[in-house]
Amino acid sequence: MTYSIEFIPDAAADYKSLDGSVKKKVNKKLEELSKNPFLGEYLGNKFNIDLTGFYKLYVDNKKIRIVYRLIGEDIEIIEVLGIGKRDKEDIYRLIGHRLKKKQY
């Protein structure tokens, strides 16, 4: 079974800003994710940011992180909320900000 992957607008912008070679690696990982939505590691409270229900997935030798969540009772959609460099907790702070801004 293949699952649908959707990006929130900010995550789509994250993706577009990636270097071409990194995009290829992200595409490959997203293809794997579309076949196995539990490929990533489950997140909880990270750096005082409540990311319960979200997952992280590493790309490019753990230089890039994809943060996503599963939508629907039977996993109808895999929703990507952010893609970014693995600089400390920056991606988690970015996701926390997006969650507050959009109230997902």
The model's pLDDT over 24-57, given as tens digits with 9 standing for 90+, comes to: 999 999 999 999 999 999 998 878 888 999 999 9
pLDDT surpassing 80 at residue 88: no
- Kindly report the pTM of this predicted structure: 0.88
Whether residue 104 has pLDDT greater than 70: no
Report the relative pairing of strands 49-50 and 45-46 from DSSP bridges.
Answer: antiparallel
Options 3.50.50.100, 3.30.2310.20, 2.40.50.140, 3.10.20.740; CATH for 4-102 is: 3.30.2310.20
**Which has more pLDDT, 67 or 47?**
67
pLDDT, residue 43, reads 92
State the Cα–Cα distance between residues 31 and 10, nearest whole angstrom. Answer: 20
- Per-residue CA distances from 17 to 29, 61, 78, 82 (Å): 17, 19, 21, 12
Give the integer Cα–Cα distance in Å for 55 and 37.
Answer: 9
The tens digit of pLDDT for each residue in 57-66 reads: 999 999 999 9
- Domain boundaries of the chain, sorted by first residue: 4-102
